[in-house]
């Protein structure tokens, strides 16, 4: 009997790791009183904006001043309505802005790939403190705290933080009502109005529902497409090529301020019968800067992973950074034009577009298995 006891194995309880909200609480406490910059996409969407507001409010609980900064435009009609109606304070970067006043940077709904603030902050020595995102891991920057999950929305992550006590919402606090409304909009926008929502998204929406201003949310969602977006959709319909249930459309040159028309057009093309994937792209120019090809991919095909598809199709730049990436059902790519940038005579611009349009199509067709780019459309 004693011999049996000698060889008994003692059961050890598994070590329970702290939750991400606990990790973030400890981190913010360690950096109490500092000034941080919250970097979001150049063209911020509702998920990024709402997550940034949540982080800003949580930071204030620890005496941290956090500014939300973007280096681009808020141009989508719903996003403009969100910022205006909820009185959201976003700071647009400009060349005279002194980024060195910030102790650390926080990247929300981006891992440094969709914002040009990444290199600007690195140049002045502002080190990343936290990344909170729901896209595939990109490995571009490293931070002290990382919460990158395969989840539908960054808004869901921040709602979880709030539920776990990082911020106590009060129905009598107008700022908290605006935050809950923004988070609900971010969550809805990333889940196609909750159609693609999973359990955690529904739990987050249920929690937020007690604080949301329904009338404001309805007003944001009732915004209509602009005339310029309708024009871009028309161009895409005229120029699209349909192959193997892919709808691929190059729309030519587009103004910088109309960049958000590209993902909206991809969303529209995906509504066509028998289309499971839409890719829309164009050349975007901004005064004083090099031109870039901007593209968006939308898919309803369960077996197609946008992140893998775009990385395989377009590869990397000379620094090893991928030109494209994405998340579940959506992705984007950005390819610098380089030496051929600039506006010249009409014939030159036509030739330039023809070359780049053909090159983008070749990469996409190779990835989907079309052997001859000149094959007629499936239509």
Q: Does 131 map to a domain? A: yes
Q: What is the pLDDT of residues 42-85, one digit of tens each?
A: 888 899 999 999 999 999 999 999 999 999 888 777 878 888 88
Q: Are residues 204 and 237 in the same domain?
A: no
Specify whether 324 is located in the same domain as 298: yes
Same domain flag for 56 and 198? yes
Residues 166 and 26 in one domain: yes
Query: What mean pLDDT is reported for the chain?
Result: 88
Number of domains the chain contains: 2
Q: How far apart are CA 358 and CA 239, in angstroms?
A: 12
> For 92-147, what is each residue's pLDDT tens digit?
999 899 999 999 999 999 988 888 899 999 999 999 999 999 887 877 899 999 99
121 and 141: one domain? yes
Rounded to an integer, what distance in angstroms lies between the CA atom of residue 258 and that of residue 73?
9
pLDDT of residue 320: 76
Does 119 reside within a domain? yes
Closest-CA residue to 313 (of 269, 271, 357, 367): 367
Last residue of a domain, one of 172, 190, 221: 221
| 247 shares a domain with 213 | no
177 in the same domain as 75: yes
Tens digits of residue pLDDT in 312-345:
999 888 877 788 887 767 888 988 887 777 777 7
Q: What is the mean pLDDT of residues 164-170?
A: 95
Domain boundary (191, 221, 251) is at 221
Does residue 315 form part of some domain?
Answer: yes
Question: Per the domain annotation, does 89 fall within a domain?
Answer: yes
Strand ranges for 122-215 from DSSP E: 127-133, 145-148
Identify whether 7 is part of a domain.
no
What pTM value is reported for the model?
Answer: 0.74
- 152-166: per-residue pLDDT in tens? 899 999 999 999 999
Instruction: Enumerate the β-bridge partners of residue 324.
Output: 333
Structural domain span for residue 163:
20-221
Summarize the confidence of residues 11-15 as an average pLDDT. 53
Q: Is residue 10 part of a domain?
A: no
Last residue of a domain, one of 182, 200, 221: 221
Do 171 and 284 belong to one domain? Answer: no
Greatest alpha-carbon span in the chain: 96
């Amino acid at each position: 009997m004693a011999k049996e006891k000698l060889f008994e194995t003692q059961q050890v309880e598994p070590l329970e790791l702290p939750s991400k909200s606990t990790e973030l609480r400890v981190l913010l406490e360690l950096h109490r009183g500092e000034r941080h910059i919250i970097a979001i996409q150049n063209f911020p969407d509702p998920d990024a904006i709402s997550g940034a507001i949540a982080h800003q409010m949580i930071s204030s609980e620890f005496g941290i001043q956090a500014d939300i900064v973007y280096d681009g435009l808020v141009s989508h009609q719903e996003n403009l309505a969100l910022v205006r109606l909820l009185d959201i304070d976003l700071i647009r970067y400009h060349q005279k802005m002194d980024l060195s006043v910030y102790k650390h940077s926080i990247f929300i709904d981006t891992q440094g790939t969709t914002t040009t603030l990444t290199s600007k902050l690195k140049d002045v020595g502002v080190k990343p403190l936290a990344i909170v995102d729901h896209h595939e891991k990109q490995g571009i920057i490293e931070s002290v705290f990382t919460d990158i999950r395969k989840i539908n929305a960054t808004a869901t992550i921040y709602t979880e933080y709030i539920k776990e006590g990082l911020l106590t919402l009060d129905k009598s606090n107008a700022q908290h009502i605006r935050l809950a409304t923004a988070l609900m909009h971010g969550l809805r926008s990333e889940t196609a109005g909750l159609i693609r929502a999973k359990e955690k998204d529904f739990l987050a929406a249920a929690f937020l529902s007690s604080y949301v201003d329904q009338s404001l949310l309805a007003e944001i969602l009732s915004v209509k497409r602009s005339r310029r977006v309708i024009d871009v959709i028309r161009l895409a319909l005229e120029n699209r090529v349909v192959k193997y249930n892919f709808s691929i459309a190059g729309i030519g040159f587009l103004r910088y301020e109309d960049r958000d028309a590209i993902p909206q057009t991809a969303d529209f093309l995906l509504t066509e019968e028998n289309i499971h994937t839409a890719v829309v792209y164009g050349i975007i120019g901004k005064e004083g800067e090099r031109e870039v090809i901007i593209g968006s991919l939308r898919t309803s095909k369960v077996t197609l992973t946008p992140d893998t598809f775009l990385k395989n199709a377009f590869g990397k730049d000379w620094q090893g950074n991928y030109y494209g990436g994405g998340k579940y059902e959506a992705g984007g790519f950005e390819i610098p034009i380089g030496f051929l940038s600039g506006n010249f005579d009409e014939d030159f611009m036509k030739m330039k577009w023809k070359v780049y349009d053909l090159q983008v199509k070749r990469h996409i067709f190779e990835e989907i298995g079309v052997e001859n780019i000149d094959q007629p459309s499936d239509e």
